[in-house]
Amino acid sequence: MSQHNKADQARKGLIASVKGKAKEIAGAVAGNDSLTAEGQLEQTEARKRKEASTTESVADAQAQQARAEATEARLEGAAERTEVEAQAAAEKQKADRQRVADKGAVTAAAHQDLAAERRQAEQDAQRQVQEARTQERVETAAAQAETDEALDDQWSSVRASAHDRADAARARQRADELADDAGVPRDQEGS
């Protein structure tokens, strides 16, 4: 529901509540129980509409926040992975430069040590990249779970809102029936 529609619904709810209160007071003053009951029902309907709108707004905000958090987690994971990959590449280049500089002067044992260091550096770099990817997947999955939960909450709120609106419509219909039975003219503006 857009902000304009939400504001419009809020105005309509306020007007319905005020009209309901006026009918309740008029019915009480005139001793017309049917008009009093109709006014009370209109106030209840307006209150339920307001509660449904509030619940829907909260669910929308939660879903939007969860989507933002999921995006942030993906971006952070990608940035961490890029940083680890750059660091690993720098370490590998450093090891390569060291190997080239020492190539002519080192013995076979020194070559073996350097190769072992390089293998270790590559293994460390691969491990760090893998850990960063794993962390990114975990954070993305957690953010997705929050998004899914927020969307489930939003749908539950929408369903609850629809249920509340249906209850309000039934209450209005019952009030109209009571008004018809009592011979009270209907409010043409609300029909």
Q: How many domains does the chain have?
A: 1
Sign of CA dihedral 119, 125, 127, 129: negative
DSSP characters over 27-80 = HHHHT-HHHHHHHHHHHHHHHHHHHHHHHHHHHHHHHHHHHHHHHHHHHHHHHH
The string over 87-98, giving b where at least 16 C-beta atoms fall within 10 Å of a residue's C-beta and e elsewhere, is ebeebeeebeee
Give the domain CATH number at 72: 1.20.1270
* pLDDT tens, per residue, the chain with 191 residues: 566 777 777 788 788 888 888 988 998 899 999 989 998 998 998 889 888 888 988 898 899 999 999 999 999 999 999 999 999 999 999 988 888 877 766 677 777 888 899 999 999 999 999 999 999 999 999 999 999 999 999 999 999 888 989 998 898 999 888 888 888 776 654 44
Tokens of 55: 């619940």
Per-residue DSSP letter, 188: G
Structural domain that includes position 16: 3-190
Dihedral angle over CA of 21, 24, 27, 33, nearest 10: 160
List the alpha helices (DSSP H) in the chain. 3-30, 33-102, 108-182
Q: Taking each helix axis as running N to C, give the angle between helix 33-102 and helix 108-182, from 0 to 180 degrees, rounded to the nearest 10.
A: 170
d(CA 127, CA 125): 5
